[in-house]
Structure 1
Amino acid sequence: MSARTNSSVGRQRRAIVIGGGLTAMLTAQALSTRTDVLVIERDSLPEIPEPRKSLPQAHHVHVLWSGGAEAIAALLPDVLSDLESAGARRIPLTSGMVGLSPAGWFRRWQESHYAIACHRDLFDWVIRRQVLGAKDNGITVMQGTTVLGLAGSADTVTGVDVRTNDGRQETLLADLVVDASGKGSQTPVWLNRLGAQSPPSREVDSGLVYASRLYQAPHGLPETWPIINVQADPRGDGPGQAGVILPIEDGRWLVTLSGTRGGEPTIDPDAFGNFALGLRHPIVGEMIKKADPLGPVHVTRMTANRRRFYEKTALPANFLALGDAVAAYNPTYGHGMSVAAQSALTLRNMIDRYGYGSPGFTRRVQKAIARHVGLAWTFAVGTDVFYDGATEGGPTLPDRMAALFVDRLTLTATGSGRMARDLTDVMTLQKGPEWLFKPSTLVSALRGPLKPQLTEPPLSPEEIGAIESA
């Protein structure tokens, strides 16, 4: 557990990363070229792609958008090929998605972006294997160890207090501590103990419940089978209900259904298909009638959007928070993994630009990653704030104005390839929100859709024939 001399730095240094999930692994990789890294994980990390006790949301649909995939590839050049070798699917966008938006069916335009699709356990395992399998990278892991708090003062964090599974307690020193522990982060409590300022926060809770089930896809479907996605309408009558079929490894479908207060799915497997048939369009329910269920229904209720504004806080020096420890989102848009990846890459880039441990370094990084966090937050909150009970006062005037703008862009995208590409640029996190305000996009929005609304899902004749004969 002692710090080691890293030849790339020429002196003893150690960073501590709290957590053993995807964010923690990518953060450790980003730091490893400049310092030794100690990853502290309270559970045991599995040796194969299997569920982790501390990641119950892994049962639900996860996608890695191209913006996040490119960030991970910049940190781990071989990771995308390793994911595909392990069975993950590279799905072209928007040609590989059949999606019903609140404004109507999207057309399937030519490929401009992509998504990587597989079970979350496989994502984590491939990335963990790459990070921890590299030789002499200075990354070590303490498993079965719980972080009890931060060491140091309100001005500077100097390490962490920990307890191992055998009850031993000690203080581990470091010149940087990164909280990548996820939704259960205790950093606000730890900061208070040091006498430091807790961050302002906001929560938007639509009461969303997720229910997911694995299926064996019907035999004989094309290998390029698309994502099927029926979105909720946040400004429609009644609860918001949605469903998605994600083709993943081993010829399986991961099916996730969701519903807000008063319209939640349940753990009852007999009710799963009926819920899907009752969505705004029954395509998800009709598809899964053709497939074989492979296990039980898994339900998650902790889906509130919660953001801690660390970038607006006078944090102690030598401390950072990344990933879900900063912001946790309604999983509808699937941005969590991609934001974590982009944040880790930004950390590495800031090290290259300003130098590891330079004055004000952690404050610069915390502000820089807020840009990635803010975009995903805008998508999630911009939807959920319209459901009854999501916030005390309901949507604000800025919320309503932003929603009107997004509604217009979405409607236009149903019949405009240019607008569909611009929206997908932002949705996949390859562009920032300012991209939607460029003159050509605004002109397209004023014109509206160039093609008429589709009245049926845009399945190809081959796809229709395959599913009908399944």
Structure 2
Amino acid sequence: MSESPQRPPRMSRMSTRAVVVGGSLAGMLAAAAVKEHVDSVEIIEAHGLPEGPESRPGVPQAAHFHVLLSGGANAIEDLLPGTVKELLGAGAHRVPVTTNMLIYSPEGWYRRWQRDTHYLITASRDLTDSVVRRQVLKDPRVSVRPHTKVTALLGSSQCVTGVRLRAADGTESELSADLVVDASGKGARTPQWLAELGISGVAEDRIDSGFAYASRIYRAPVSTRNWPVISVQADPRGGEPGRTGGIVPIEDGRWHVSLIGTPGAQPSREAAEFEPYARTLRHPVIADLLAHAEPLTDVALTHSTVNRRYSYERLKSWPEGLVALGDSVAAFNPVYGHGMSVAAIGAVALRARLASRGLADGLSRAAQRAIAAPVELAWSLAVGQDIHYRTTKGRNAGAADRLLQRYVSRLSHTATGSFHVATAMTEVLTLQSPGTALLRPGVLAAALIGPLRPQLDEPTFTAAERGLLADAGIRLPWLTA
């Protein structure tokens, strides 16, 4: 048995430092995870960080709607107690799933089952980032070095001992560290840095369905307090291009609206085409509501929806003193809303390994394997959907994939009329239970029986929501009394 790599001796053990690469949400959560186990944490940020809920360079996806799943929200609350309360106080919404959601799945409309155990936090990405950032940076052990880039790792293939830096004026320096956490996002250069240390063979998976996102913020025509999230999902089973859309209530009485399509049905950047595209979805609810809302922004368009994953946990060699987290490990098609939550759950896993091992040898590999667990679940959920579009590149659906899709479709069909199955699916989709929860005997039996209630023909608005619509003079022609 080979010996584990040993950290080279330091001049002094009196002070320990962690360096976090990137001041994104994942970077801030990484700092929260490690700050109790070192004397200081320094976040190296390539750009500046805004004081409040303002856009930050390097987060182009912030233009599109974001949801924080309850699995991720619970993880953030575990790392930074009081953060969810701060978010809600700043205008974010807590949306019970599916109690306060109108979801049109490929198998039909989900019922609005009454429960409060699973939820979404909805807000602009800028607000979520700012609240988390404020919570992290109020700890005096955490500091930020802005306008500075990490250009390389220091150390060897056995042990990372710090980072090489380049300041905005081109000045280069070195910064030693007992632990380096790479949270630099989709543009992470970790594979190149590892190669420079002599570590090769990083497995990369890329699955690209070709989705394009067009998003716009509207002034809502009704109160957004307790207003539901609305989602009209694409149906990949027919072989036609997929069209998806959603309305998410955010702070300040606004709706964040995203329209999403695969090649052959991609939305446009043109404002005049935004609402007509919404009319091409499988149901007109989004288009009919937008007809009464006031647009506040131009349309933001992106084609960056590829699923990309580095399987660092499978490498035969992994250096002590290095951990990768968040999009640096895996980035998902944002239509599924997993990114922030996976980063948060991964940060909790990192903290747990630090609590049990400290900075001792074996920490980095143990942490990387633990971080891979929530990545694996989110990856299977995202890729398990995307591979069934004809336009997807990187992997085709095989016989096992098609069999699994039929089972999941059966579950979704059952969930439209079964509280038990809807709850099981929600546990997994909010990252609060592993995928194996869908194979429990009770869930299998319920799927075999099928839905216990008839399918809904239209979305179900509550009496209070109907009253808001009536007060605003909004008549939805398909909405029955």
CA deviations on 1:199-229 (whole Å, 9 max, x unpaired) are: 201111011100100000004x462110010
Native 8 Å contact 2:233 2:245 kept in 1:
yes
Q: Which one-letter code corresponds to 2:468 in the other structure?
A: A
TM-score, scaled to structure 2? 0.93
Within the candidate set 65, 72, 77, 1:68 is matched to: 72
Counterparts of 1:398 and 1:164 in 2: how far apart (Å)? 50
Q: Deviations over 1:404-433 (max 9, x none)?
A: 221111111011001111111111111111
Partners in 2 of 1:158 and 1:101 — Cα distance?
49
Secondary structure of the structure 1 residue equivalent to 2:236: coil
Q: Matches of residues 287-366 of structure 1 in structure 2 within 5 Å?
A: 287-313=289-315, 314-354=317-357, 356-366=358-368
SS in structure 1 opposite 2:231? strand
Asked whether the 8 Å contact 1:155–1:196 carries over to 2, the reply is no
2:174 maps to which residue?
171
The residue that corresponds to 2:188 in the other structure is: 185
**Aligned twin of 1:88:** 92
Q: Is the contact between residue 64 and residue 117 of structure 1 (CA under 8 Å) also seen in structure 2?
A: yes
Q: How many angstroms apart in 1 are the aligned matches of 2:35 and 2:95?
A: 31
TM-score by length of 1: 0.95
Q: 1:393 to 1:307 in 2, by over 3 A?
A: closer
**Aligned length, in residue pairs:** 458
Superposed CA offset, 1:311-360 (max 9, x none): 10122121111000111000112011111111101111111122x21221
Correspondences of 1:10-89 after superposition (within 5 Å): 11-35=14-38, 36-89=40-93
Separation in 1, partners of 2:468, 2:15? 61
Is 2:468 the partner of 1:466?
yes
Contact (CA 8 Å) 2:208, 2:394: kept in 1 or not?
no
Q: Tell me how far apart the structure 2 counterparts of residues 124 and 50 of structure 1 sit (CA, whole Å).
A: 9
Deviations 1:45-73 (A, max 9, x none): 00111111100100111111111111111
2:143 aligned to 126, 140, 146, which one? 140
Q: Confirm or deny: 8 A CA contact 1:222 1:463 kept in the other structure.
A: no
The aligned counterpart of 2:9 is none
Distance 2:314 2:335 in 1: 27
Q: Contact between 2:237 and 2:388, CA under 8 Å: does it hold in 1?
A: yes
| Counterpart selection for 1:282 from 281, 284, 287 | 284
DSSP 3-state at the match of 1:379 = helix
Equivalent residue, structure 1, for 2:158: 155
Residue number in structure 2 paired with 1:271: 273
| Long gaps (5+) in structure 1 | 1-8
Q: Within 2, Cα distance between the matches of 1:294 and 1:435?
A: 42
CA contact (8 A) 1:290 1:467 kept: no
SS at match of 1:315: coil
Partner of 2:252 in structure 1?
A: 250
2: CA distance, partners of 1:152 / 1:283: 57
Amino acid at match of 2:221: P
Contact 1:68 1:337 in 2 (8 A): yes
Would you say 1:207 and 2:210 are equivalent positions?
yes
RMSD between superposed Cα atoms in Å:
1.4
Q: Report the identity percentage.
A: 47
Using the TM superposition, give the Cα deviation of residue 198 of structure 1 relative to its aligned residue in structure 2, in angstroms. Answer: 4.0
| Distance (Å, rounded) in 1 between the aligned partners of 2:394 and 2:328 | 24
Aligned-partner SS, 2:373: helix
Q: Answer with 398-407 or 376-385: which moved more.
A: 398-407
Distance 1:462 1:114 in 2: 20
CA contact (8 A) 2:45 2:146 kept: yes
1:10 to partner: Cα distance: 8.2
Cα gap change, 1:47 to 1:198, in 2 (>3 Å): farther
Shift of 1:151: 1.2
Change (3 A) 1:244 1:67: same
